[in-house]
Amino acid sequence: MMDIKVQDFVDRIEANTYTHFEATKSDAVANKDGIEALLTPALAAISEAVATGHLAQAKLVLTGKANVVYRLETGVVNLPFENTKKVFQFYDLEETVPVRIYLITEAEDLNASGFRIDEMGTADDLMTNEAAVAAKINAQASEQWTYVNAHLGEVAAAKEKAAAAFKAKQAAAKKTPAKKTTAKRTTTRRKATARKATTAAKKTTTAAAKRTTTAKKPTTAATKRSTAAKKTTTTRRTTAAKKSTN
């Protein structure tokens, strides 16, 4: 059974102490001989490493119209070796887990990210039934090769289209007046209208005050007449009183 302590796995990968294998072929050769034939040496390198208790990475690089990189890696979770530091997000570093075999495919026209990783089985599966694991790897890799060749340039075209649309949107935004400016103008107009209304109200109040003052003046005259009348009455009474005394 090939198990490994998570911390030990991380240390080995970061120290680059694992078996390396790499082969480069043209896409023409891949189309002629088939992906299975080209992956055979890579799979053999992985099998040998696992049999001796080593971690490994076996790479097949295909170049031409279709540029694809296949990698077989021994890992503990579905992360490529370059992301080993993220393993702690899935496991406790002191935990012991099975070593697994992963097929990684990198190609621009594979998907939006240009990357895919699939578990093909455990290291023990490879040791006990290599043919079954190999068949699974070959089927997956061949399917992806067919897909990439059938969609050459599509992802790049989609990215260019998206970039052009973004630029057009930015250009249109620059030509369109900012909404904030319109809002400020509206606010200014409202304030001006409010000021006019306030001024009109003040004028009305002043006019009303003047009318009130004018209305008060007759009252004052009436008061004077009343006072004069009172004085006359008082004088007459006083004179009458004096006559009675005499």
Helix axes 35-51, 130-150, angle to 10 degrees: 140
88 pLDDT exceeds 60? yes
Ramachandran angles phi, psi of 236, nearest 5°: -60, -40
pLDDT cut 90: percent of the chain above it: 61
Amino acid 137: pLDDT: 98
Q: Rounded to an integer, what distance in angstroms lies between the CA atom of residue 42 and that of residue 72?
A: 7
Confidence at 167, pLDDT banded by 50, 70, 90? confident
Tabulate helix, strand, coil % of the chain (nearest 5): 65, 20, 15
107 pLDDT exceeds 70? yes
Query: Looking at residues 140-162, what average pLDDT do you find?
Result: 87
DSSP-assigned beta bridge partners for residue 69: 61, 106
Q: Rounded to an integer, what distance in angstroms lies between the CA atom of residue 184 and that of residue 190?
A: 10
**DSSP, residue by residue, 204-223:** HHHHHHHHHHHHHHHHHHHH
